[in-house]
Amino acid sequence: MKVILADYSGFCFGVKKAMDMVYDEIKEKGMEKELYSLGPLIHNQQVVEELENKGVKVEDDIEKIQKGSVIIRSHGVQKDVYSLAGEKSLDIVDATCPFVRRIQNIVENYHKDKYEIVIIGNPNHPEVIGINGWCNNQAFIIQEEEDVKKIPYSEKLCIVVQTTMSTPHFQKIAKLLEEKGNKIEIFNTICNATKERQDAARKLAKEVQAMIVVGGYHSSNTQKLVDICKEERPSTTYHVESVHELQDEWLIDIDVVGVTAGASTPQWIIDELLQKLNRI
């Protein structure tokens, strides 16, 4: 069986930067200072466990952290988390991805300028929750085309999009939103890493008989890759978190299989999967 890895897959720039910052912090401070990650650093169980073994504790609520350093992960956080950390004299290791930081800045500035803010994205995703915190939690958050009717007409509207949204989906919703305001600013804030991975996954899915997507089950960008591959290969796209879930029967009668990986999937997990596939 021939195994082909997508042209772009695995750790994106923002996740790699976050991982490097955390490992530097561990090296510098060792166990002498308590180190907390505000939520799992990345949506990958194996990596979270490895970091826990090195002393990085996961805490979802900053109110529960009394001392030490707090890592802000690449998804970013609400603005008030910074002031809370300051009040508690916590050190901040800020690994907010620059692409997410850009959205936070847009939202903050346009909110100050009295624009209504629309975030196209998953309302439960930490990145979106964080962005909303830069406009006083007053954004309209919509995910599907039918949600557009919930948006009232506004004089000034500023539209941003979650970094991991697919471009065609964003374009469709943004087009509908053009009817919802007089002065409208639309920012395509989908990050390149996402688009590159999505385009490469679609291209590869068209060329192979089956696709294996490897990445955390809670990783939004991995899930998007699964959705895209399923559009091309509805019955032969499989999502695994690690090599252990790979089932041999998926590959019966398959001559060419494609592999892609979410932006939070470490290279060693991809390598293990490739090695196993190459043995089949």
Q: Tell me which residues touch ligand F3S (CB under 6 A).
A: 12-15, 74, 97, 99-100, 163, 191, 193-194, 221, 263
Give CA–CA dist 120/73, Å, rounded.
21
Cβ(216)–Cβ(265) below 8 Å: yes
**Is 220 marked within a binding site?**
yes
The residue sitting closest to ligand F3S, measured at its beta carbon, is 14
Q: Which is nearer to ligand F3S, 148 or 225 (CB)?
A: 225
Shortest Å, Cβ 73 to ligand F3S: 9
Mark whether 87 is an active-site residue: no
Is 221 annotated to bind a ligand? Reply is yes
Burial class, 59, CB count within 10 angstroms (exposed 0-12 / middle 13-18 / buried 19+): middle
For 64, list phi and psi in degrees, rounded to 5. Answer: -85, -5
**For the chain, how many residues are written?**
280
Q: Give least dist CB 76 to ligand F3S, A.
A: 9
User: Nearer Cβ to ligand F3S, position 103 or 151?
Assistant: 103
Confirm or deny that 135 is annotated as ligand binding. Answer: no
Of the two residues 103 and 173, which places its CB atom closer to ligand F3S in the complex?
103
Least Å from the CB of residue 95 to ligand F3S = 9
Q: Which residues of 144-174 are buried (b: 16+ CB within 10 A; e: fewer)?
A: eeebbeebeebeebbbbbbbbbbeebbeebb
Q: How far is the CB of 156 from ligand F3S (least distance, A)?
A: 26
Q: Phi-psi bin for 248: left (phi > 0), alpha (psi -120 to 50), beta?
A: alpha
Kindly name the residue from 25, 116, 127, 241 that is annotated as catalytic: 127
Q: 131: Cβ–Cβ under 8 A, 6 or more apart, which residues?
A: 76, 100, 103, 104, 107, 119, 121, 139, 160, 162
Look up tokens 């996402």; give the residue: 194
- Residue 85 or 100 having the CB closest to ligand F3S: 100
DSSP classification of residue 67: S
239 among annotated binding-site residues: no
> 137: annotated binding-site residue?
no
Output the known binding site for isopentenyl diphosphate.
43, 75, 125, 219-221, 264
Q: Which residue numbers are catalytic?
A: 127
Output the known binding site.
12, 43, 75, 97, 125, 163, 191, 219-221, 264
Output the known binding site for dimethylallyl diphosphate.
43, 75, 125, 219-221, 264
